[in-house]
Amino acid sequence: MGWLAVVRHGEAGPGRPDRGRRLTPRGEHEAQGAGRWLAARPELEGAMVWASPYDRAQQTAQAVVEATRCDLETVDTITPDDDVDALVERLTALEVSRPLIIVSHMPLVGALVGRLVEGSPGAGIAFPTAGIALLEADVWAAGCATSRAFVGPPYA
């Protein structure tokens, strides 16, 4: 059985280019709360963190890494407009024994969780900023995951 946490970045301010948008003070607080929530999940111990290269996702991932002490890898193919099917294919090839935390953006995070849990291409869910979906599965393939938690700020 494997564990996957899908995290949307914290609240970001406006700006151009999109990849350079940074977290607001509220977004920084949200990211720290998400990090604390993830750190309290024993099933995520020793996880790898994949983060989008966009500034707001990198800032959120840094807060997650500081709280969880997990390893961080920047993944160029998990930006807002990237292909969810390609990501599911990449996940399917992974060994599920090591937990994974993905820090990315809407609409990718919503489409990814929808695809892994529901299986259909049109499935998707809305994520609040710094929202977290915690999934469990034997394999990361369409329709094979079970949602174990869906939380957002403020975190208890």
Mean pLDDT of 30-52: 98
Position 155 scores a pLDDT of: 81
Q: In the chain, pLDDT over 70 holds for what percent of residues?
A: 99
Domain around 19: 2-151
Is 11 part of a structural domain of the chain?
yes
Is 47 part of a structural domain of the chain?
yes
Question: In terms of Cα–Cα distance, which of 93, 89, 97, 90 is closest to 137?
Answer: 97
Is 9 part of a structural domain of the chain?
yes
Answer whether residue 52 shows pLDDT above 70.
yes
pTM for the complete prediction? 0.97
Half-sphere exposure (CA, 13 Å, Cβ side) for 146? Answer: 6
Position 124 scores a pLDDT of: 87
**CATH at residue 19:** 3.40.50.1240
Mean pLDDT of 22-29: 98
Is 98 part of a structural domain of the chain?
yes
Answer whether residue 68 shows pLDDT above 70.
yes
Is 67 part of a structural domain of the chain?
yes
Position 10 scores a pLDDT of: 98
Question: In terms of Cα–Cα distance, which of 38, 32, 73, 78 is closest to 54?
Answer: 78
Position 8 scores a pLDDT of: 98
Mean pLDDT of 121-137: 93
Position 100 scores a pLDDT of: 98
- Domain total of the chain: 1
Q: Are 18 and 8 in contact (CB under 8 A)?
A: no
Is 69 part of a structural domain of the chain?
yes
Answer whether residue 20 shows pLDDT above 80.
yes
Which residues have C-beta within 8 Å of that of residue 52, sequence separation ≥ 6? Answer: 9, 58, 74, 75, 78, 79, 80, 103, 104, 105
Is 24 part of a structural domain of the chain?
yes
Is 156 part of a structural domain of the chain?
no
Position 145 scores a pLDDT of: 97
